[in-house]
Structure 1
Amino acid sequence: MLDQAVAFLCEADRLKSVQRANVLMDLSRPENSAEHSWHVALYAMVFGASDRAIAMILVHDLVEIDAGDQPIHLDHDAAALRLAEEAAAARIFGLMPQGAALADLWRAFEAAGCDDARMAKRMDHIQPLFQVLQAGAPLPDHVEIVRANLERGRAARLVREWPDAAAAARDLLAQQGLPDSDLGRRLAFLAEADGLKSVHRANTLIDGSRHENSAEHSWHLALYALVLAPLAEPGVDIGRVIRMLLIHDLVEIDVGDVPLHSAGGQAHGSAAIQQAEAAAARRIFGMLPDGQAAEFLALWQEFEAVETPDAIFAKGLDRCQPAIQNLQAGGAGWLRYDVTLAQLEMRVGTWVDAASAELWAWLSGRLSAHFSSR
């Protein structure tokens, strides 16, 4: 089971190379579908979606690995696209036996026939709107696409389904700013979160084409939790684990990524880094309405403390995913920091084993084989 599950998770890495038509809020580059999926899941978390709706969002764009992204403002053959996406779903989810459950989530999202799917769709449709409208200097052609979408496109239903959000979008189109309200604070937080897409990590994508960023890493980890849930100890709440992983790296917007194998006074886990991350957490989560700010901060602190079953499983996955990325990429990230097998057993193995002895047994064997062949 683990071989197939990891093969699926490694295939999912390719979503990080699927470019979308919209751009990051700093206009530096196009967004990719993996970091978009993370941001949409964070929107869903902020606006009270269920665990099932968030799970739908985590898998909703995986078919784009084969079918590509289809911008809403361009004409396309809907029937042909549907066939291409169904074929992609059959191939990608078919990589592992438990993929059938994920395929069911994807099909439920596409059908939008239940409350969870409708909520997931709503988040998927508003994230690109506000990503454009809250940018410091949005591209004029993107603003016009948003305007058309709100007036006669798929977002027009917001007037009926979510009038406050529709009104906020209209205010931003009129350059009137966000409302001074809970909605305004949530949207400001979500705009700030866009910065995580520009935080680069030490490890690369599996294909070695570039360094991974912390937003797409967070999406990938949440997908790991969804797929590897059967390995969790009894009592672990996978929904809470996924929520932890969606927010666990937001402090890096201020602090940056601190590689696990770095050294010195600013090393991973040092007192200076812990203090900086705690300050970042207070600032970033403090942008939310007070009650939600306290909830998110407490969830982040639980992850950092690694004392509860949910946090132990989340931390183990956070250590496991980069190790698998490095194995698949030939150990490129480890070479940079001159990492040894003994260091990995201490810095990675301790946490993965605590999360799941079966997962560590699988990973340990592959790490040993990699280092023995060098």
Structure 2
Amino acid sequence: MNTDTPPTRLEQQFAFLMEADDLKSVLRANQIMDRSRFENSAEHSWHACLAALIFAPLATDDIDLDRVLAMLVLHDLVEIDAGDHPIHISHDPASVAALEAAAADRLYGLLPAGQGAAFRAIWEEFEAMQTPAARYAKAIDFLAPALQCIGAPVQLDEERGIVERNLREGRATKTKAILPDLYAFTKAAFEGTPTDPVMQARFDYWCEADRLKSVLRATPIRDGSRPENSGEHSWHVMLYALTLVDHAHTEIDPGRAIRMMLLHDIVEVDAGDTPIHGAITPEAHPAQEAAEIKAADRLFGLLPAGEGAALRGLWEEFEAAQTPTALYAKSIDRAQPVLHNLASDGGSWRTYDVTLEQLEERVGTKVARGAPALWPYIRARVTPWFEANRG
């Protein structure tokens, strides 16, 4: 007789979320803009989401931007098993499709059945590219590598050759009918001809945001091999917000929560990351807050005035943590690093000599405010580590 207890809904959801962390180790063919390393698929997913948001004024009225963002959060998860397939290398489409379908079976199969089916349907809609939302999301994904190349201060001949062929005869040509203004801007920027100033302002903001991929956090990725960066962290907490919404303390706006997670760390481009277990003196908080406001002034100020103000409003709502949606988003942001530290045998808890009581005070109370069911689950799992290592 099988006496195994079936996993709870939360156990299934967290199994999926922790497995998703492996997307941070899938390397793409293109580099981040400072040319220091190759980009990974998690931070690409975050940057594609940001492009979808800032170029949203180009979208037609029939496009559901919340669904677009969900597609771009999920679209590359299958690469955990199937790998990335660069556009300039020949592949057998049928073989790739089979690999990705098997990956989708496994990854979305980790979730509770109904949720796994819903997430897979979002991914399949994106792949089919038939709905207005999927066409918009695909167009962003097709143009993002070209924009990444164009935005880099140092241009590489081989990479420019790939972009030129893609814009002339590759899949990027499909975007001409979907986002003609963005395709025209990309082509003009690539060729060095004059561009529309409003489009240029949006692009300048997107390029500045690329630097978030080089802001290192105190928490490692789950295998402990390196620190997590704030770009890939932002993607991961977007996925958390999408996955755990049924555990919110009250009714919230899920799409707004995901947008908050997309933007919440953008000020770290200038202000850097402040570990929650690090600089906690009374003097440190006001200084960090001032640095972040100054960063918000500069970064959101790069966008056209009304657009920058709208995005800054989302960031300020998250920081204030007064609305139900912001409280949920804050809870998600606090929950994710705890599980990474546990998976990596202590992570930043060892670095900062953290106790369970400190974790409860700094993290637990905030998680419980916006997602009450999460903290008892998480605390039960971290307590044995603290008893063994801080007893």
TM-score, normalised to structure 2, is 0.93
How far does the alpha carbon of each residue in 1:141-164 deviate from its partner, in whole angstroms, 9 at most, with x for none? Answer: 111101000000011133333332
Once the two structures are superposed, the pairs formed by residues 14-53 of structure 1 within 5 Å of their partners are: 14-48=22-56, 50-53=65-68
Tell me whether 48-57 or 156-165 shows the greater mean CA deviation: 156-165
Indicate if the aligned counterparts of 2:234 and 2:261 stay in contact, CA closer than 8 A: yes
Residue identity in the other structure for 1:259: P
Does the Cα contact within 8 Å between 1:266 and 1:272 map onto a contact in 2?
no
- The 8 Å contact of residues 136 and 179 in structure 2, kept in 1 or not, is answered as no
Give secondary structure in 2 for the equivalent of 1:161: coil
Corresponding residue for residue 61 of structure 1: 76
Counterpart of 1:55, as a letter, is A
2:177 pairs, out of 160, 164, 173, with 160
Aligned equivalent of 2:257:
241
Does the CA-based 8 Å contact 2:68-2:133 persist in structure 1? yes
CA distance in 1, matches of 2:145, 2:76: 14
1:340 aligned to 352, 355, 358, which one? 355
Map Cα deviations across residues 315-368 of structure 1 (whole Å, 9 max, x no partner).
011110000111111112110000110110000011000012111111121122
Q: Equivalent residue for 1:306?
A: 321
CA distance in 1, matches of 2:126, 2:283: 42
- What stretches of structure 1 move > 4 A for 4+ residues in a row? 264-268
Cα pair 1:258 1:267 within 8 Å, conserved: no
> How far apart are residue 176 of structure 1 and its match?
3.4
- For 1:272, give the aligned amino acid: A
Cα deviation for residue 68 of structure 1 reads: 0.3
What is the aligned partner in structure 2 of residue 214 from structure 1? Answer: 230
Equivalent residue number for residue 355 of structure 1 = 370
1:42-96 Cα deviation digits (max 9, x unpaired)? 1111122610110011010000000000000100011001000000000011012
CA distance in 1, matches of 2:125, 2:279: 47
What is the percent sequence identity of the aligned residues?
48
The alignment status of 1:275 with 2:290, answered yes or no, reads yes
Read off the aligned partner of 2:109 and give its amino acid letter: G
Question: What SS does the corresponding residue of 1:31 show, helix, strand or coil?
Answer: strand
SS in 2 for 1:203: strand
Instruction: Return the offset for 1:267.
Output: 7.3
Inter-partner Cα distance in structure 2 for 1:62 and 1:267? 41
1:80 match: 95
Supply the AA of the counterpart residue of 1:15: L
1:93 equivalent in alignment to 2:93: no
Partner residue in 2 for 1:259: 275
Which segment drifts farther, 219-228 or 127-136?
Answer: 127-136
Q: 1:245, 1:321 → 2: CA distance?
A: 12
Q: What's the counterpart of residue 185 of structure 1? A: 201
Preserved CA contact (<8 Å) 1:197 1:216: yes
Specify which of 127, 133, 138 is matched with residue 150 of structure 2: 133
For residues 327 and 184 of structure 1, what CA distance do their matches in structure 2 show? 43
Amino acid at match of 1:263: A
User: How many Å apart are 1:116 and its aligned residue?
Assistant: 0.9
Give me the whole-angstrom Cα distance separating, in 2, the residues matched to 1:265 and 1:371: 24
Write the distance in 1 (CA, Å) between the matches of 2:280 and 2:334.
20
1:267–1:273 contact (8 Å) kept in structure 2: no
What is the SS of the residue equivalent to 1:357? coil
Once the 2 structures are TM-superposed, how far is the Cα of residue 166 of structure 1 from its aligned partner?
2.4
Cα distance in 2, alignment partners of residues 99 and 117 from structure 1: 19
Partner of 1:108: 125
**Cα distance in 1 between the residues matched to 2:53 and 2:249:** 24
- 1:218-229 alignment, distance < 5 Å: 218-229=234-245
Cross-structure match for 2:163: 146
**What is the CA–CA distance in structure 2 between the aligned matches of 1:161 and 1:35, rounded to whole Å?**
24
Q: Against the structure 1 CA distance between its residues 311 and 80, is the aligned structure 2 distance closer, same or farther, given a 3 Å change threshold?
A: same
Q: Which sections of structure 1, spanning at least 5 residues, go unmatched?
A: none
Give yes or no for contact 2:213–2:230 (8 Å, CA) kept in 1: yes
- Displacement, 1:180? 4.3
Q: Do the aligned partners of residues 266 and 61 (structure 1) sit closer, same or farther apart at CA in structure 2, a change above 3 Å counting?
A: farther
